Amino acid sequence: MDYARRIQQLPRYLFAELDAAKQQARQRGVDVIDLGVGDPDLPTPRHIVEALARGARDPSTHQYPSYEGDLEFREAVARMYRRVHGVRLDPHREVIALIGSKEGIAHAPLAFINPGERVLVPDPGYPVYRASTILAGGRPVEMPLREKNGFLPDLSKVRGGARLMFLNYPNNPTAAVAPRGFLREAVDFCRDRGVHLLHDFAYGEMGFDVRPPSVLSVPGARDAAVEFHSLSKTYCMTGWRLGFAVGNAELLAGLLKVKTNIDSGAFRAVQRAGIAALNGPRGPARKSLGVYRERRDLFVEGLRRLGLRFHPPRATFYVWVRVPRGSTSLGFSGRLLEGVGVVATPGVGFGRHGEGYVRFSLTKPRERIREALERMEDVLGAPKARQ
């Protein structure tokens, strides 16, 4: 097949290959424990499901929705940002609904990038930042996230101009949380250089030991920044495909112009469910976070017994782990899957600076996590053997 050059330029998508490897293992009869996918295993809270059901039964939701999202949904987003992050938003100009935050992130470069223009992307990072830049004709420029810097990019090392900068904190895959001081540095960097800052805040309410700051809480951020957010992780709604973008009104207008030519907006019944999530009781989200905290503590204790190197995550449901000496990320994840049926995502799938790490996702019950740790001990042996 003679694909377009932009498709041929896309990097190898290791996650699809990982899915194929998991399926092959299952076909061989392997009991696979999948700690590779960032998809919550907890059910969506009941009051949100009931709001969807009521909305779906209402014929007024069955027609085309507005491109920017129902005003009631945007108002709910604005109320949540004021309550949780101390940020005031104009729901008419500074909030738009998305069909999941991934959709907005993928479409944003189409609004702002001309062929050949540079886009600063974190490495390792969510692959959509790089892929969407390539599909828009831009040139991705890596910002390495190194362990010695707390997995924050060193902005003093950035050379040359750029049109966009992607950031993501709390971070996927490293689980790092950016302090407000770094976000202030990033805002100043972008304002001084005329760079549009796109902050992926999908894990913004998933802080265990810290409240992750919104970039919009930084003075002057609205001059340069848009923040992408999602209901997927906080409310266990990954399959519902509902998110939003907030911030600079002119940047949102550009994104909205792309959306009006590509999609027809989020189903209004799903938006009503989103309103129920954002306006509803906080107990279910706190309960989910508590479950992930317990799983984190269990997994961290097990990794210590195994002698593996890692930083205990303060947010997200990921654990970013160094592979044993002499291994590669692909080699180690392959040993775990082929040897004991445990799935970890190879770090190199998030970019070349992810080499030497794997990502575990805490989206399985405690008993399965405990079993995965026991199986890993069979592969790794005693810690002394790895030193």
Q: How far apart are CA 201 and CA 230, in angstroms?
A: 8
Domain 46-279 grouped into CATH 3.40.50.300: no
- 207 DSSP assignment: B
Q: Where are the domains of the chain?
A: 5-43+283-386, 46-279
Give me the pLDDT at residue 382, please: 55
pLDDT of residue 12 exceeding 90, the answer is no
Residue 384 banded pLDDT, cuts 50, 70, 90 = very low
Q: State pLDDT tens for residues 308-343.
A: 999 999 999 999 999 999 999 999 999 999 999 999
pLDDT tens for 37-94 read 899 999 999 999 999 999 999 999 999 999 999 999 999 999 999 999 999 999 999 9
Q: Is the pLDDT of residue 370 over 60?
A: yes
Average pLDDT rounded to a whole number, residues 249-255: 98
Instruction: Locate 85 and state its tokens.
Output: 């992050």
* pLDDT value at residue 217: 97
What is the side-by-side order of every strand in the sheet holding 95-98?
95-98, 243-247, 225-230, 196-200, 164-168, 118-123, 139-144
How confident is residue 16, by pLDDT bands cut at 50, 70 and 90? Answer: confident
pLDDT digit string, tens, across residues 146-195: 999 999 999 999 998 999 999 999 999 999 999 999 999 999 999 999 99
Dihedrals phi, psi of 357, to nearest 5 degrees: -135, 160
Selection from 128, 115, 110, 114 nearest residue 38 by Cα: 128
CATH of domain 5-43+283-386: 3.90.1150.10
From CA 361, how far away is CA 164, in angstroms rounded?
Answer: 29
Q: Which of 20-34, 95-109, 122-136, 220-234 has the lowest mean pLDDT?
A: 20-34
- Residue 379: per-residue pLDDT: 87
pLDDT above 70 (res 236): yes
User: Residue 385's pLDDT is what?
Assistant: 43
Per-residue pLDDT band at 269 (split at 50, 70, 90):
very high
Determine the pLDDT at residue 10.
82
The pTM for the full model equals: 0.95
| Other CB atoms within 10 Å distance of the CB of residue 281 | 11
Residue predicted with more confidence, 381 or 365: 365
What stretches of 219-354 show up as alpha helix (H) in DSSP? 249-262, 268-279, 283-306, 329-340
- Of 235 and 6, the structure prediction assigns the larger pLDDT to 235
Residue 287's CB is within 10 A of a number of other CB atoms, namely 11
Worst-scoring range by mean pLDDT, 4-8, 298-302, 381-385? 381-385
Residue closest to 38 by CA, chosen among 253, 317, 260, 244: 317
Closest of 211, 188, 176 to residue 312, by C-alpha: 176
Q: Which residues make Cβ contacts (< 8 Å) with residue 335, sequence separation at least 6? A: 327, 379
User: Distance between CA atoms of 240 and 70, rounded to whole angstroms?
Assistant: 16
